[in-house]
Structure 1
């Protein structure tokens, strides 16, 4: 059985396309989980400006030298209105622009590899079979038809076109390795859920001879900073820049999404 994490619901796909109201307010989240997003947290150091010099040191070997707080000034790119299910592509656009590449989300949406296996449903609307986001984007990214997601491997392949020899797949690495990458001055695309919490609704479908079991609410964002308590995100769906989320909330969600993370060096 293959475990894969998409953004869809039984009848209308969600996740990347969920509107900002799906993200809990600070008051609501504090009541439910005791801690959650705390706006206006103090970061004493000024945002780091774009640095396009190539970094060659391994992000896994930098923990002892890591700064206690850092915030990268990564440009914000919103997925809507053109790319309803394009959170991964919008996130890739942010990272490449920060790296100094003149790209836009619509250009990248055309270039990302696609898995064109059609969606098949039963009479109740349940998905019976569909594509594999490990192979390419599944569905219609624009949202005119059923749309879904793409995972780290196709994103890495496309990044390699613009940053030859520099793409870096951190999937499966520790979260320290992800933070060390930020410390080195490069933002990281990370897969999470729409509210950054653990997924709690699951679906499954067939793809060729595999069963893909999935949570309903998938999202991709750009990790742009951290301090001792929180990580900071650029969210292409909500349009929030440098948005703080408590580590104890975010990290379990990221782990549940199989620790997917993509950056460059």
Structure 2
């Protein structure tokens, strides 16, 4: 008879509410096509597909067998020195390369949507800037001015340019859905903070009639694996591959960043 394992982090989440407040910025933030790409034949190397591990299916419905641990071998790509604020497109480059798409971080930098609104300061405070829900805010290279971030929707659009109809927006889904996606062999771009902990400093500015409130240390990484107590990430800033992070700590930071995650199928 199959035994049921409950991963600690899987008990924590049942999705996040959609909101209009935006999560994460700072000028001193850590340094951070083919339309005929075939369905991937090799799902990558995963480990730990133990018998008897049961969890809810990724997107609702019946339960299905689910591994207690998994790991995907995704080639590490670093954002520096070219893209000081380019953690999102660099993370996406890792994911797309794994999917068999021949592209790179600089091509994705050129193609990702941009919000052109310039930064406006009063003293040292940012009073006006762009909306990362619409496109990348600021200068991703960091050479001309400060850069900030881009959120899930423009990244989803970019995935669909390379893999038409295959983008998967896991934003606001329970974290176990993200783990289930990894277990199926798909790496996931996940928004967190620079040290994978709860943000403790915030910034806000106006964009049109909307106030955008953000934690100061936004970061994006690639989730490539997990086990009972940890997740494993490729970090484009530190350059660490399959870096181990406490699962509960990582989930808390992901929730603070409004539960954003993007992959493909």
TM-score normalized by structure 2?
A: 0.82
Is 2:236 the partner of 1:244? Answer: no
Q: What is the CA-CA distance between 1:64 and the residue it aligns to? A: 3.9
Contact 1:89–1:105 (8 Å) recurs in 2:
yes
1:28 alignment counterpart = none
Is 2:23 the partner of 1:5? Answer: yes
Question: Cα gap change, 1:137/1:63 in structure 2, threshold over 3 Å: closer, same or farther?
Answer: farther
SS in structure 1 at match of 2:165: coil
1:115 alignment counterpart = 115
Question: Cα gap change, 1:128/1:263 in structure 2, threshold over 3 Å: closer, same or farther?
Answer: same
1:147 alignment counterpart = 147
Q: Flag the structure with higher helix content.
A: 1
Question: Cα gap change, 1:65/1:167 in structure 2, threshold over 3 Å: closer, same or farther?
Answer: same
SS in structure 1 at match of 2:241: strand
> Structure 1: where are the runs of 5+ without partners?
19-45, 50-57
Q: What is the CA-CA distance between 1:3 and the residue it aligns to? A: 1.2
Q: What is the CA-CA distance between 1:66 and the residue it aligns to? A: 1.2
Q: C-alpha deviations, 1:198-241, integer Å up to 9, x for none?
A: 01101100000000011101000000000011000000000000
1:35 alignment counterpart = none
Aligned partners of 1:136 and 1:63: how far apart in 2? Answer: 37
2:95 alignment counterpart = 95
Q: What is the CA-CA distance between 1:102 and the residue it aligns to? A: 0.3
Contact 1:13–1:147 (8 Å) recurs in 2:
no
Aligned partners of 1:152 and 1:130: how far apart in 2? Answer: 18
Aligned CA-pair RMSD: 1.7
1:207 alignment counterpart = 207
1:222 alignment counterpart = 222
After the TM superposition, list the runs of 4 or more consecutive aligned residues in structure 1 that deviate by more than 6 angstroms. Answer: none
Q: What is the CA-CA distance between 1:65 and the residue it aligns to? A: 1.3
Aligned partners of 2:236 and 2:197: how far apart in 1? Answer: 17
SS in structure 2 at match of 1:221: strand
Q: What is the CA-CA distance between 1:118 and the residue it aligns to? A: 0.6
SS in structure 2 at match of 1:143: coil
> Structure 2: where are the runs of 5+ without partners?
1-18, 33-43, 48-56
Aligned partners of 2:24 and 2:196: how far apart in 1? Answer: 14
Contact 2:24–2:257 (8 Å) recurs in 1:
no
Q: C-alpha deviations, 1:4-49, integer Å up to 9, x for none?
A: 12231xxx3304x25xxxxxxxxxxxxxxxxxxxxxxxxxxx9439
Aligned partners of 1:111 and 1:224: how far apart in 2? Answer: 25
Q: C-alpha deviations, 1:139-191, integer Å up to 9, x for none?
A: 00001111110000000001000111100000000000000000111000000
Q: What is the CA-CA distance between 1:63 and the residue it aligns to? A: 6.1
Contact 1:79–1:87 (8 Å) recurs in 2:
yes
SS in structure 1 at match of 2:242: strand
Question: Cα gap change, 1:235/1:63 in structure 2, threshold over 3 Å: closer, same or farther?
Answer: farther
2:156 alignment counterpart = 156
Contact 1:7–1:219 (8 Å) recurs in 2:
no
Aligned partners of 2:65 and 2:228: how far apart in 1? Answer: 14
